[in-house]
């Protein structure tokens, strides 16, 4: 039997802790794994592209545990009532190869993306940052708001989306959360949203080279949390932002980010810092209060590894609807797999004149 975490169970686990605590604990797990960066077998994710989207597999292993995530990205799905992104994942024991956990990762990916964003921003944004612009108010936006409010002390969030309905949805959900000391403002454009912002988070969904922000819109000292550009041909920042002399760029895993991140627009010589080096104190998050810092976030498999291990632990810690599924055969003789397909042994039945 294999432990299973579906949608109902992840809802239960998050409700028991609260989303803010869940995200902060998850950030701690992710940081701990980035701090042992050299222990991991790492590779860029394997992507299969189509005109309408992408399907990806994301593996990572530390030699003791192995994890992978299946995830898609189909921006037009919402037009037919489907999610843009869905995901599930497996955590396995390397010694036996047996899976330990099969889990939903659609909700969890949004939680871990927000956790990683806030984790990087704590090292890169100015300590006095209190205002965040949030451009793209879709499925990821509530999670990003909770993470930055809770972990960085953001007190004002300025919203903009080309879809006014998405912004209305976000406003409604934030009002229901009753987040203390958080002011929510709706803006009429990206340019209006970034005015006076200390942090700018872009989390748009269109699979194209979009120009969500230009260099003229970005004031000195701003931290950019660029989340939406996460596959080849999909970016949010005008390349002139990256060309600025006062820019510092951090990525999760450079070989993957060169293919998929904002830096796909730049030459191979363009300098970046990996998040592991930043968290280990091997590189500073910013050089001055006037430097523009960019976390070019595309999502990396190590974050899903951390998430699956965290889920398995709290799944066992927390009472509730714990489930297992019969994903693996249970055999008396491990060499006799075909025994599962054989009929039950025939039973002798009593017949007239014959002793049973």
Active site residues: 230
- Across the beta sheet with 2-5, the strand order is 46-50, 53-61, 65-73, 87-93, 99-104, 2-5, 323-325
Q: How far is CA 91 from CA 55, 67, 325, in A?
A: 19, 4, 14
Contacts of 341 (CB under 8 A, 6+ apart): none
Q: How far is CA 245 from CA 144, 147, 180, 215, 277, in A?
A: 28, 30, 38, 11, 22
Contact at 8 Å (CB) between 67 and 305? yes
Mapped onto helix, strand or coil, the DSSP state of residue 53 is strand
Of the candidates 177, 140, 134, 139, which has an alpha carbon nearest to the alpha carbon of residue 157?
134
**What does the block give as tokens for 92?**
């396995």
CB atoms within 10 A of CB 264: 19
Angstrom distance (rounded) from CA 338 to CA 342:
7
Cα angle, residue 57 at apex, residues 254 and 257 outer, rounded to 5°: 15
**What does the block give as tokens for 354?**
């014959």
H or E stretch covering 324: strand 323-325
Q: How far is CA 256 from CA 45, 84, 288, in A?
A: 7, 21, 28
**What does the block give as tokens for 283?**
């590189």
Any idea what DSSP says for residue 44? Answer: P
Angstrom distance (rounded) from CA 90 to CA 82:
23
Angstrom distance (rounded) from CA 209 to CA 227:
14
CB atoms within 10 A of CB 199: 28
Of the candidates 117, 115, 106, 116, which has an alpha carbon nearest to the alpha carbon of residue 84?
106
């Amino acid at each position: 039997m294999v432990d299973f975490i579906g949608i109902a169970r992840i809802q239960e686990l998050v409700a028991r802790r609260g989303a803010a605590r869940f995200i902060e604990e998850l950030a701690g797990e992710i940081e701990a794994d980035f701090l042992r960066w050299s222990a991991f077998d790492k590779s860029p994710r394997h992507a299969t592209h189509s005109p309408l989207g992408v399907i990806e597999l994301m593996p990572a292993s530390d030699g003791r545990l192995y994890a992978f995530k299946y995830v898609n990205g189909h921006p037009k799905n919402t037009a037919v009532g489907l999610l843009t992104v869905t995901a599930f994942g497996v955590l396995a024991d390397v010694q036996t190869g047996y899976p330990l956990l099969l889990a939903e990762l659609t909700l969890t990916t949004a939680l871990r993306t927000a956790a990683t964003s806030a984790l990087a921003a704590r090292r890169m944004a100015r300590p006095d940052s209190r205002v965040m612009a949030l451009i793209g108010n879709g499925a990821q936006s509530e999670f990003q708001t909770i993470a930055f409010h809770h972990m960085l002390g953001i007190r004002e969030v300025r919203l903009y989306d080309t879809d006014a309905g998405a912004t209305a949805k976000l406003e409604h959900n934030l009002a229901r959360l009753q987040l203390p000391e958080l002011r929510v403002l709706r803006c009429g454009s990206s340019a209006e949203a970034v005015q006076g912002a200390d942090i700018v988070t872009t989390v748009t969904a269109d699979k194209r080279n979009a120009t969500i922000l230009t260099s003229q819109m970005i004031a000195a000292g701003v931290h950019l949390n660029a989340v939406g550009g996460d596959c080849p041909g999909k970016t949010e920042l005008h390349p002139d932002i990256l060309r600025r002399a006062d820019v510092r760029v951090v990525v999760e895993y450079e070989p993957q980010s060169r293919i998929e991140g904002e830096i796909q627009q730049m030459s191979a010589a363009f300098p970046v810092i990996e998040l592991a080096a930043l968290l280990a104190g091997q590189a500073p998050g910013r050089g001055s209060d006037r430097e523009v810092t960019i976390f070019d976030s595309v999502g990396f498999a190590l974050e899903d590894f951390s998430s699956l291990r965290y889920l398995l632990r709290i799944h066992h810690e927390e009472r509730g609807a714990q489930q297992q599924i019969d994903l693996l055969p249970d055999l008396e003789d491990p060499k006799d797999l075909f025994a599962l397909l054989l009929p039950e042994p025939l039973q002798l039945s009593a017949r007239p004149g014959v002793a049973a």
